[in-house]
Structure 1
Amino acid sequence: MADQDHAAASAIPWFVQFTAFKVDPAWRRLPHTARAEGREAFAGVVEEYASSITTWAYSGIGLKIGVDLLLWRRGVDPKLMQEMTARLLRSGIGCYSEISYQLFGYTRSSVYTRRPTSQEQAIDLNDRQTYLIVYPFSKTTEWYLMSRDARQGMMNEHMRVGHEYADIRQVLLYATGIDDQEFVVAYETEDLPRFSQLVTDLRATEARRYTLRDTPIITAIHYPLRDALALIG
């Protein structure tokens, strides 16, 4: 039954957003009480939508300029996600924030694998690892003009390398035609140097020739929401 439930969950076309907030320095000059109330107001909005939108919080302070807070959100309704974002920007610390990065897309089954591994099903999990790395990704026109068999062969090599790092989770979102990038790629890890080695190994595969864009790269650390907000001040 558990396997059936997981299979059903994996079939849901999740709408997923990674939203980064940059906070105005004026926020940290507010009185302590005002900042405490502002953080709580922001957290209250997240909790209000929790029945429909799952949210995980990250801090990019000291890692990525302009990412004081990163929210990874998972739901099924883009309109509701937009409504929540608008509410956040009108609530507490959100009034002192602007969105510095916004990446979004949908989940769907890969055309290159028959059955995703547990490593590739991280989007359906509710526990998160310490480090998150997320970036936009697009392929070249030449990639799509090749035969399906040629692309499959290169992806097989790519996936073999990835599976050697089974402890590193991955999420792939599809955004072709609905945003500037074709995909959003996210990884979770407990070991940043090991993740860097994975990327080094992947860049030595044949498929790398057909990468058009894979920046900016955002690295952030997972915290409970209120802890991530407290780091901002």
Structure 2
Amino acid sequence: MPERQFVKYTFLKVDPAWRRLDAEERAIHKREFLAACEDFSSERLLRAFSLVGTRGDADLLLLTQATNLERIHEFHVVLSQSGLMGWAETPYSFLAMTKPSEYSDESRLEVRPQHSKYLFVYPFVKTREWYGVDPKERWRIMQEHIRVGKEYPDVDLNTSYSFGLDDQEFVVAFEGDEPAVFLDLVQRLRTTESSLFTKRDTPTFTCIAMSVERALNALDGATVGVTA
């Protein structure tokens, strides 16, 4: 049986002044960043996404997963030593864990990347009234929510839980190849009874899946130069 996992969504925004540095200096910064990512991903899940062109307040997302929080901590310590991180800030950061769902028999003990073209991510908070509803009634309400999701089989859902770990209660991450299909799904979910108990489901991030190297190149339009 899979172990429960810690899941970390780290959004980075690069100072525009970094792009005016000498090309070789930028290449060194990217190689250092890439080396840290390759070391972590040799044994654990790490996925990179570009937000260039989809958000104005974030340029890159790193999705990491590990069975212990110390390994995620160590990765970010090493990452911070790269030259690029000296020019970057973290406008958003979501920490969560996997756990079995209360409303579905489907295993959710690890993030299961499908390598779709896009990842749609947002933090999610329910109203306090939701937790006062009878458990059987909550189950009934969520079955409608799940049923609507199944009407869009090309969109895969990964939900992780943040109770007590971070400001949100859940981190919701949908994968798919067609943004229009995801848009239609979200609009359809607004009509369900469960939507009445949503307190917050923003900010929303549309992320383009790619290798770490390509995501780094998207920051300045230049190549890394030398493989780490």
TM-score (norm 1): 0.90
Unmatched segments (≥5 aa) in structure 1? 1-7
Residue 20 of structure 1 pairs with residue 7 of structure 2: no
Residue 85 of structure 1 pairs with residue 72 of structure 2: no
Conservation of the 8 A alpha-carbon contact between 1:52 and 1:75:
no
Task: Write out the 4+ residue segments of structure 1 that deviate beyond 4 Å after TM superposition.
Answer: none
Give, in whole Å, the separation in 1 of the partners of 2:110 and 2:36: 25
Residue 124 of structure 1: aligned partner: 112
Residue 28 of structure 2: aligned partner: 37
Tell me the alpha carbon deviations over residues 149-187 of structure 1, each in whole angstroms, 9 at most, x when there is no partner: 111111000000001111111110111111111111000
Give, in whole Å, the separation in 1 of the partners of 2:48 and 2:26: 18
Tell me the alpha carbon deviations over residues 188-222 of structure 1, each in whole angstroms, 9 at most, x when there is no partner: 11000110000011110001000011011111101
Conservation of the 8 A alpha-carbon contact between 2:95 and 2:165:
no
Residue 232 of structure 1: aligned partner: 219
Please state how far the C-alpha of 1:228 moved relative to its aligned partner.
0.5
Give, in whole Å, the separation in 2 of the partners of 1:38 and 1:175: 32
What code does the residue aligned with 1:79 have? E
What code does the residue aligned with 2:3 have? I
Give, in whole Å, the separation in 1 of the partners of 2:105 and 2:48: 32
What code does the residue aligned with 2:28 have? E
Residue 57 of structure 1 pairs with residue 48 of structure 2: yes
Tell me the alpha carbon deviations over residues 76-100 of structure 1, each in whole angstroms, 9 at most, x when there is no partner: 1212211211221220212211111
What code does the residue aligned with 2:184 have? Q
SS of the aligned residue for 2:116 comes to coil
Please state how far the C-alpha of 1:66 moved relative to its aligned partner.
2.0
Count, aligned residues:
220
Q: Provide the identity percentage.
A: 37
Residue 188 of structure 2: aligned partner: 201
Relative to its length, the structure with more helix (as a share) is 1
Give, in whole Å, the separation in 2 of the partners of 1:93 and 1:190: 30
Q: Note the aligned Cα RMSD (angstroms).
A: 1.5
Please state how far the C-alpha of 1:225 moved relative to its aligned partner.
0.6
Give, in whole Å, the separation in 2 of the partners of 1:173 and 1:107: 5
**How do 1:105-184 residues align onto structure 2 when only pairs under 5 Å count?**
105-116=96-107, 123-125=111-113, 127-184=114-171
Give, in whole Å, the separation in 1 of the partners of 2:172 and 2:203: 11
Conservation of the 8 A alpha-carbon contact between 1:170 and 1:186:
yes
Conservation of the 8 A alpha-carbon contact between 2:9 and 2:94:
yes
Please state how far the C-alpha of 1:114 moved relative to its aligned partner.
2.3
Conservation of the 8 A alpha-carbon contact between 2:100 and 2:109:
no
**How do 1:210-225 residues align onto structure 2 when only pairs under 5 Å count?**
210-225=197-212
Conservation of the 8 A alpha-carbon contact between 1:122 and 1:170:
no
Conservation of the 8 A alpha-carbon contact between 2:142 and 2:194:
yes
Give, in whole Å, the separation in 2 of the partners of 1:121 and 1:53: 15
SS of the aligned residue for 1:186 comes to strand
